[in-house]
Chain A
């Protein structure tokens, strides 16, 4: 088992929407191995999504959270936490709930420890005033890989769970969130928002709205939105889609002409207690806030396929189609 050491900074930043608008966010950035005297230069460099945390079951993870403060809002001395959403067997100190443990003040560090016991798709987020900090962007994906991949009999093969029926060729994260631009604007300008009036105008996959979702990872035109949602593969390949919802709405995702085989929900393989196969075929993946879904698609004939939100009003950017929670799958001939 490996020992993994990571360090994340909590700070603020700005993101772009395809309609040219710019929005204030809170978030995390990866400062692992950054020399102490350079850490300060990461202030204001939060990304949406936060960095991917990727480990094997049984690994020991030490994650240091450093609160870098908000250069855009120096008056705001919010503390932050990391809540490892969906992880069993936590002791409450590392649960990231400030009301029941601790949080990290500006300029301070705290080391979280975890030993993930089960493979699957999870998420992490700040739990300080979570309605504000989650909406503002302190959210990231977390994948725990199964030990079966380390078994010499299966070298080089990929599995979602410790079961050969969950084998896949490629994987993609489909991390869905929404954004109501009003609180982002108000927070940037030191004003309050009534969260019960939440009503988003932007819908994102992996921190971007369509058509930005199909642009490559680390595209220089979105310095704070490093993730792509563009999927490419060959006919007959199996693609594992890891759905995570850290918005506040339920989302129903479809792909034109490609059904899903749902093999896992909330980081649990769909298996009965006595090993019964409970996987299910679906034409839509319906996922609520705080849930994750693992679904495998088999890529059909060559061509382009659209992955979109069946609540069709969410395929827009501030009211204008086509946009929002949508991306493309490009299937190539073998």
Chain B
């Protein structure tokens, strides 16, 4: 039996352009801050799960589990909740200012899912009450059988990343602080997030101390030829065309359903995946590049560096060399964030206004897929684990 304790709280998140935005989020401890997104819930197929929610917010809040069946509160299945004849919640909720509720269910299928508030969702989900669920297949073993959907499903992976997308209209958040009405039909986002962060913060490591409410990075790090499982979740209300540079991804599952009919393989490769609201995608990215060795066969002559634009903004992620694992010269005054000659391939929304922070590029829904030389990354990079909850 897995027990997950969540608290619904208010907090502040920050954007790279210096804004501090009020939000509602799930936290993993009574004394921990609200976080965006909520802590990932990582459970095993066939093992019962209990989610205990304590609500510290001034209105009822719930945990709604799209894609999970047989969710119960006590001995009853969850059901819609009404107040004065109006539907106020898709499922049972924890009442305001200290109420609690416990949900139990047994995940029957492996895959990637979302959890989110089912109460006033048009407001609460947009305010930040969402997170990801990963259900491991029954035969999953971190050391011997790392697959997304079980052995024999052709879903092996070496590293995995969870990337959750959403949008932020600061005027909604401001209206909630001021207790003023907000028309969801007039929703007009100014920020776009991956794991609750806007670029370039998406590329900072997990648990960066200056982002206490946004603990998860969105940088994808791998070595050549490794199979990288990238799990997308659309947690907002818009759809986003996500485009990785460097290679296609192979989509192996959507909405927690393996793309396979018996022996018939229905997976497919795409260079842009349109992630709709509430959708999830499991994909395998593999970088098998030309230009992998130092005696690179590719004809390259880099012109004099004075004739090239490098790091216009004063920084670059380039090594200064065309070759993987090699470092070259970077002009004076330009800071290179390149570690060991790794390649950085952008992963971003191709609806380009969404890679800005309130109109200013670079920002928003953008990160990098970083390909490091073989043997550089420690095995604990790209390992998803359940954050430990604290009473």
A98 CB, min distance to chain B CBs, angstroms: 6
Is the beta-carbon distance between A95 and B265 smaller than 8 angstroms? Answer: no
Is the beta-carbon distance between A131 and B272 smaller than 8 angstroms? Answer: no
A212 CB, min distance to chain B CBs, angstroms: 25
Is the beta-carbon distance between A274 and B265 smaller than 8 angstroms? Answer: yes
What is the CA–CA distance of A193 and B245 in the complex, to the nearest angstrom?
Answer: 27
Residues of chain A within 8 A (CB-CB) of B272 are 86, 266, 288-291
The residues in A between 91 and 110 inclusive whose CB is less than 8 angstroms from any CB of B are 91-93, 95, 97-105, 108-110
Q: Is residue A30 within 8 Å, beta carbon to beta carbon, of the partner chain?
A: no
How many residues of A are in contact with the other chain, CB < 8 A?
A: 57
Interface residues as binary, B300-321 with A (CB distance below 8 Å gives 1, 0 otherwise): 1111000111111100111000
Q: Which of B90-98, B103-111, B114-122, B285-293 lines the interface with chain A?
A: B285-293
What is the CA–CA distance of A268 and B301 in the complex, to the nearest angstrom?
Answer: 31
Is the beta-carbon distance between B346 and A97 smaller than 8 angstroms? Answer: yes
The residues in A between 75 and 99 inclusive whose CB is less than 8 angstroms from any CB of B are 79, 83, 85-86, 88-93, 95, 97-99
Interface residues as binary, B257-272 with A (CB distance below 8 Å gives 1, 0 otherwise): 0000001111111111
User: If the complex has contacts A110-B303, A268-B248, are A195 and B312 also in contact, measured as CB distance less than 8 A?
Assistant: no
How many residues of B are in contact with the other chain, CB < 8 A?
A: 61
Q: Is residue A267 within 8 Å, beta carbon to beta carbon, of the partner chain?
A: yes
Q: Is residue B356 within 8 Å, beta carbon to beta carbon, of the partner chain?
A: yes
User: If the complex has contacts A90-B245, A248-B352, are A129 and B361 also in contact, measured as CB distance less than 8 A?
Assistant: yes
Q: Is residue B390 within 8 Å, beta carbon to beta carbon, of the partner chain?
A: no
User: If the complex has contacts A95-B245, A135-B352, are A278 and B268 also in contact, measured as CB distance less than 8 A?
Assistant: yes
Is the beta-carbon distance between B316 and A99 smaller than 8 angstroms? Answer: yes
What is the CA–CA distance of A214 and B274 in the complex, to the nearest angstrom?
Answer: 30
Q: Is residue A196 within 8 Å, beta carbon to beta carbon, of the partner chain?
A: yes
What is the CA–CA distance of A86 and B269 in the complex, to the nearest angstrom?
Answer: 11
Is the beta-carbon distance between B274 and A91 smaller than 8 angstroms? Answer: no
Q: Which residue of chain B has its CB nearest to the CB of A135? A: B352
Is the beta-carbon distance between B353 and A131 smaller than 8 angstroms? Answer: yes
In this complex, the member of A92, A98, A109, A110 whose beta carbon has the largest number of chain B beta carbons within 10 angstroms is A92
Is the beta-carbon distance between A85 and B243 smaller than 8 angstroms? Answer: yes
Residues of chain B within 8 A (CB-CB) of A102 are 302, 308-310, 318
B10 CB, min distance to chain A CBs, angstroms: 25
Is the beta-carbon distance between B351 and A249 smaller than 8 angstroms? Answer: yes
Q: Is residue A38 within 8 Å, beta carbon to beta carbon, of the partner chain?
A: no
Q: Is residue B387 within 8 Å, beta carbon to beta carbon, of the partner chain?
A: no
Q: Which residue of chain A has its CB nearest to the CB of B286? A: A88
Q: Is residue B129 within 8 Å, beta carbon to beta carbon, of the partner chain?
A: no
Is the beta-carbon distance between A194 and B318 smaller than 8 angstroms? Answer: no
A residues in contact (CB < 8 Å) with B = 79, 83, 85-86, 88-93, 95, 97-105, 108-111, 113, 115, 127-132, 134-135, 193-198, 248-250, 265-268, 270, 272-274, 276, 278, 288-291
Given contacts A79-B312, A92-B344, A110-B303, 15 further A-B contacts (CB under 8 A): A90-B289, A92-B343, A97-B345, A99-B362, A100-B343, A100-B345, A102-B309, A103-B308, A105-B309, A130-B355, A195-B356, A195-B359, A196-B188, A266-B248, A268-B270
